[in-house]
Amino acid sequence: LVSRMRAFGTTIFAEMSALAVRTGSINLGQGFPDTDGPAAMLDRAVEAIAAGANQYPPGPGVPDLRHAVSEHRSAHYGLDYDPDGEVLVTVGATEAIAASVLALCEAGDEVIAFEPYYDSYAASIALSGARLVAVTLRPADGRFTFDPDELRAAVTPRTRAILVNSPHNPTGTVFTRAELAVIAELCQERDLIAITDEVYEHLTFDGVEHIPLATFPGMRERTVMISSAGKTFSVTGWKTGWVCAPPPLVGAVQTVKQFLTFTASAPWQLAVTYGLRHELDWVAALRSGLQDKRDRLMEGLTSAGFEVFRPSGTYFVQTDIRPLGFTDGLELTRKLPALAGVVAIPTQVFYDHPERGAHFVRFAFCKKDEVIDEAVARLKRLP
């Protein structure tokens, strides 16, 4: 393995899901739903295969999907992207993030990301030879947020880009207009590119709305906006994502993307096109169902003795394990199958400063009610 990848072993998601299978534990670790996406959309994928959509689609993506993505951005956010030249279909958001970093960051450049961060950011940045500079999100008034001065101080003459994930995995924070304004201002002052990971754009709660950074004045031209179908339509295995950005940015990303995967799978693209055009009511129901599940898991974890942070978005509840007498989340999550028959994710692995997140553990609530209830019942028996 090349030296720049040696720090990256097996992802925590693979480790913990394997642990769940091996021990027969309830898996509240890796974030994937245990129910399917909209039936009519699933049918469209089957029909697409039967109808012969089985050869390479165009590199930038099936034109119909690019149109559907463009219409969706316009209807939801008032952002207009030309389906021919400003939209690129990728193999999930993961490829979009990797291709964006590889296309836009030189070796030696610095890329800012908020820690705890989604694990692929550090690996993609390392592959590019750039350097991740982490700005820490800390709990304040029950939600994780950043200190604007700390963010400003993290920018140096080498800073090329900032990776912004909102709704944020793993903390559940949805950045407010004021927080995003700080980021937008800084991007313009210091001429930074924003790479935004918006895969949970539709999964927000309590009436909180996701605001894309690209909607801020002066930001569309410097933002690479990324999302995917996995979370919106409960099809994480379909790995269908997209990038929206002005031609110079999307063109750069496409140049890299064509040599990573050339193109993304055809049948899913056709089905997701249908989803974006016809299944947004289904998504609204998913969102309100998830809000109930969030409340259910929060209540359960609280009664099991965890300190719980209320997420405004995503699939995840962040907890502090210290009230239970534990201090190290990695140690606890590795023991949790034996102690309680439950798997969770140690948040510290998403930090450059692991000590800042040592006592946090993430639980996923995108699960059937009975699965959540059984996990809570088991956790209540923790010694």
Nearest distance from C-beta of residue 92 to ligand PMP, angstroms: 2
Q: What is the edge-to-edge ordering of all strands in the sheet holding 110-115? A: 87-90, 241-244, 223-228, 193-197, 159-165, 110-115, 131-136
Binders of ligand PMP among 123-152, rule CB under 6 A? none
Binders of ligand PMP among 157-176, rule CB under 6 A? 165, 169
CB 33 within 8 A of CB 316: no
Q: What is the Cα–Cα distance from 207 to 210, expressed in whole angstroms?
A: 10
Q: How far is CA 189 from CA 73, 152, 179, 219, in A?
A: 26, 10, 16, 11
Binders of ligand PMP among 44-103, rule CB under 6 A? 92-94
Q: What is the Cα–Cα distance from 102 to 255, expressed in whole angstroms?
A: 10
Nearest distance from C-beta of residue 173 to ligand GLN, angstroms: 14
The residues near 355 (Cβ < 8 Å, ≥ 6 apart) are 348
Q: What is the Cα–Cα distance from 90 to 103, expressed in whole angstroms?
A: 14
Element (H, E) at 222: none
Q: State the binding partner of 13 from ligand PMP, ligand GLN, none, CB within 5 to 8 A by kind.
A: ligand GLN
Q: State the binding partner of 241 from ligand PMP, ligand GLN, none, CB within 5 to 8 A by kind.
A: ligand PMP
Residues 197-236: x where in contact with ligand PMP by CB under 6 A, - otherwise, as a string: x-x----------------------------x-xx----x
Residue placing its CB nearer to ligand GLN in the complex, 16 or 250: 16
Q: What is the Cα–Cα distance from 227 to 90, expressed in whole angstroms?
A: 10
Q: Is 133 helix (H, G, I), strand (E, B) or coil?
A: strand
- Contact with ligand GLN (CB under 6 A): which of 28, 31, 146, 239? 31
Binders of ligand GLN among 46-85, rule CB under 6 A? none
Q: What is the Cα–Cα distance from 313 to 304, expressed in whole angstroms?
A: 22
Nearest distance from C-beta of residue 230 to ligand GLN, angstroms: 8
- Strands 345-346 and 360-364 come out as antiparallel
Nearest distance from C-beta of residue 50 to ligand GLN, angstroms: 30
Binding-site size for ligand PMP (CB under 6 A) equals 14
Residue placing its CB nearer to ligand PMP in the complex, 241 or 311: 241
Residue placing its CB nearer to ligand PMP in the complex, 253 or 304: 253
Nearest distance from C-beta of residue 217 to ligand PMP, angstroms: 26
275 near ligand PMP, rule: CB under 6 A: no
Widest CA span in the chain: 58
- Strands 110-115 and 159-165 come out as parallel
> Which amino acid is present at 203?
L
Give Cα 174 to chain centroid, integer Å: 12
Q: State the binding partner of 318 from ligand PMP, ligand GLN, none, CB within 5 to 8 A by kind.
A: none
- Contact with ligand GLN (CB under 6 A): which of 90, 159, 169, 348? 169
Q: How far is CA 348 from CA 318, 327, 360, in A?
A: 12, 11, 7
Q: State the binding partner of 159 from ligand PMP, ligand GLN, none, CB within 5 to 8 A by kind.
A: none
Nearest distance from C-beta of residue 316 to ligand GLN, angstroms: 7
Nearest distance from C-beta of residue 264 to ligand PMP, angstroms: 11
Half-sphere exposure of 323 (CA within 13 A, CB side): 11
Binding site for ligand PMP (CB under 6 A): 92-94, 118, 165, 169, 197, 199, 228, 230-231, 236, 239, 241
Binding site for ligand GLN (CB under 6 A): 11, 13, 30-31, 169
